[in-house]
């Protein structure tokens, strides 16, 4: 049993500090990686090296502060089920938006969440390129730079700006493409920005109206999902299911039902 109390604000403060250190490493490695690409390494290797180094640092920092906790990270795996009652599991995506990281598009982030009893209780998403930081702790709202977030006030589907993302597998992409082709004529427009964690933060602050995606992993969803729900949004799957790999829909209450019903009709959580 951990002797360190699981106060959600303490967990958030630690996540925030660890994410800031990780973001500094990711930024530094990107500069170094560009030099490497020019001279020797393949682009994919470079990104993989940064992902792994950043995750290693995050896990080391978390476990130094709280040695009895469990961890799950994208690169090194870990505890794939929630920790025992009352224990903390950290869920980490060292760089969410790896393709943007590779290309130098300023939409990639460190994402760190703390989960207790199967529920995310603290989360931070730190945009490495811009320095913007979004945070949430269970019951304490969602915040960016001292500003509390509450999502979009849009109410009509036709005026809804929708963010989404696509999986890496070709067959799944084909299905996702069919869904988008039918959704696009019904909404204001579609955005594919390349980081699920930052998409969830964008919907939390209302810079997009809704977000949905099929195929998210726990580390894509954990921190950003809490930030969106603490901003007052509904974060769900389809047809009463919880958000997860089949589908994540994050939307203000006024838009949720509208988008939900269209996504059900289009079988957005189906296909490969
Ligand atoms: C990906 C990004 C992307 C989303 C993919 C994720 P990665 O994560 O969040 O926006 O569409 O589903 O896998 O690979 O950049 O960590
Ligand atoms: Ca990711
Ligand atoms: Ca990643």
The pLDDT tens digits for 30-78 are 887 655 443 334 444 445 688 999 999 999 999 999 999 999 999 999 9
pTM over 0.75: yes
Q: Is the Cβ–Cβ distance between 259 and 154 less than 8 Å? A: no
Cα(1) to centroid(ligand 1), Å: 34
Q: Which of 87, 116, 148 is the last residue of a domain?
A: 148
- Looking from the CA of residue 98, the nearest atom of ligand 1 is 15
CATH number at residue 171: 3.40.190.80
In a domain, 45, yes or no: yes
Q: Is the pLDDT of residue 4 over 50?
A: no
Q: What is the dihedral of CA 16, 21, 22, 23, to 10 degrees?
A: 90
The crossing angle, in degrees rounded to 10, of helices 253-265 and 170-183 is 120
pLDDT score recorded for residue 35 = 52
Cα(33) to centroid(ligand 1), Å: 20
pLDDT score recorded for residue 45 = 42
The pLDDT tens digits for 182-213 are 999 999 999 999 999 999 999 999 999 999 99
Same structural domain, 112 and 22 = yes
Same structural domain, 61 and 17 = yes
In a domain, 272, yes or no: no
- Please give the full DSSP string across 133-145, using - where no structure is assigned: EEEEETTS-EEET
In a domain, 10, yes or no: yes
Cα(123) to centroid(ligand 3), Å: 16
The pLDDT tens digits for 103-162 are 899 999 999 999 999 999 999 999 999 999 999 999 999 999 899 999 999 999 999 999
171/245 Cα distance (integer angstroms) = 16
- Looking from the CA of residue 195, the nearest atom of ligand 1 is 10
Using a 10 angstrom Cβ sphere, with 0-12 exposed, 13-18 middle and 19 or more buried, the burial of residue 104 is exposed
Residues spanned by the domain of 113? 5-148
- How large is the average pLDDT for residues 97-101? 92
The pocket around ligand 1, CB under 6 angstroms, is made up of 93, 96-98, 165-167, 194-196, 213, 215-216, 220
């Amino acid at each position: 049993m951990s002797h360190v109390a699981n106060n959600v604000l303490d967990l958030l403060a630690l996540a925030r500090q660890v994410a800031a250190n990780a973001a500094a490493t990711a930024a530094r490695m990107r500069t170094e990686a560009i030099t490497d690409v020019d001279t020797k390494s393949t682009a994919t290797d470079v990104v993989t090296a940064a992902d792994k180094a950043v995750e290693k640092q995050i896990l080391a920092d978390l476990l130094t502060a709280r040695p009895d906790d469990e961890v799950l990270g994208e690169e090194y795996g870990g505890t794939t089920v929630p920790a025992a009652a009352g224990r903390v599991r950290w869920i980490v995506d060292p760089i969410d938006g790896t393709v943007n990281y590779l290309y130098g598009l300023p939409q990639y982030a460190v994402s760190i969440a703390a989960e207790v009893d199967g529920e995310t209780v603290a989360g931070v998403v730190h945009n490495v390129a811009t320095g913007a930081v979004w945070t949430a702790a269970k019951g304490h709202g969602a915040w960016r730079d001292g500003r509390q977030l509450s999502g979009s006030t849009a109410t009509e589907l036709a005026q809804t700006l929708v963010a989404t993302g696509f999986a890496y597998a070709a067959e799944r992409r084909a299905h996702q493409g069919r869904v988008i082709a039918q959704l696009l004529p019904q909404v204001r427009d579609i955005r594919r920005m390349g980081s699920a964690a930052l998409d969830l933060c964008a919907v939390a602050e209302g810079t997009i109206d809704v977000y949905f995606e099929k195929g998210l992993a726990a580390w894509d969803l954990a921190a950003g999902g809490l930030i969106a729900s603490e901003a007052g949004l509904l974060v769900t799957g389809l047809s009463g299911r919880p958000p997860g790999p089949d589908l994540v829909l994050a939307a203000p209450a006024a838009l949720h039902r509208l988008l939900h019903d269209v996504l059900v009709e289009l079988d957005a959580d189906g296909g490969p």
